[in-house]
């Protein structure tokens, strides 16, 4: 079982660092494993951020998220972990992740985590 690593994430220079602008990235193909049952979980991650000096590169984001495919993690932990990793690698001015998981036992869960305050 691989462990997701923030080292997979690559960045490129923010082409417009003088302007506070918003980047939304929607990833509807996220899947990980339930650590209790071993069954797969599925969800959609929506990552929003205002970059500072660097942006994350999309291909590397995709590979990083694929590392959760056979990794066991609860909803709350996995969402916070991804925020921590993306913040560590890109040091954004602001970042928010909304993770919406498909229903289990008839109950659907959405976890929303945020780093910093969105610049006006």
Among 5, 7, 88, 110, binds its own copies (CB under 8 A): 110
- Nearest-angstrom CA–CA distance, 101 and 106: 12
| DSSP run (H or E) holding 13 | strand 11-13
Residue 3 binds its own copies, judged by CB under 8 A: no
Closer to its own copies by CB, 8 or 31: give it: 31
Question: Binding of its own copies at residue 62 (CB under 8 A)?
Answer: yes
Instruction: Return the number of the residue (3 or 39) whose C-beta is nearest its own copies.
Output: 39
> What whole-number distance in Å separates Cα of residue 89 and Cα of residue 86?
5
111 near its own copies, judged by CB under 8 A: yes
CA angle 84, 88, 94 (to 5 degrees): 75
C-alpha–C-alpha distance, residues 96 and 3, integer Å: 23
Q: In the annotation, is 27 catalytic?
A: no
Which has the closest alpha carbon to 3: 60, 63, 67?
67
Nearer to its own copies, 7 or 77 (CB): 77
Could you give the residue numbers annotated as active site? 34, 41
- The residues that touch its own copies, with contacts defined as CB under 8 A, are 14-16, 19-29, 31, 39-40, 42, 55, 58-59, 61-62, 66, 69-70, 74, 76-77, 79-80, 102-114
């Amino acid at each position: 079982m691989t462990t997701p690593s923030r080292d997979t994430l690559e960045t490129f220079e923010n082409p417009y660092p003088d302007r506070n602008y918003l980047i939304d990235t929607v990833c509807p193909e996220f899947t990980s494993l339930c650590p209790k049952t071993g069954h797969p979980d599925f969800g959609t991650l929506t990552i929003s951020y205002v970059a500072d000096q660097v942006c994350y590169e999309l291909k590397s984001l995709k590979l990083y998220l694929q590392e959760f495919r056979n990794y066991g993690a609860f909803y709350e932990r996995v969402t916070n972990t991804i925020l921590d990793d993306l913040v560590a690698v890109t040091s954004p001015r602001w970042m928010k992740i909304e993770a919406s998981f498909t229903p289990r036992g008839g109950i659907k869960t959405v976890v929303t985590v945020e780093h910093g305050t969105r610049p006006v």
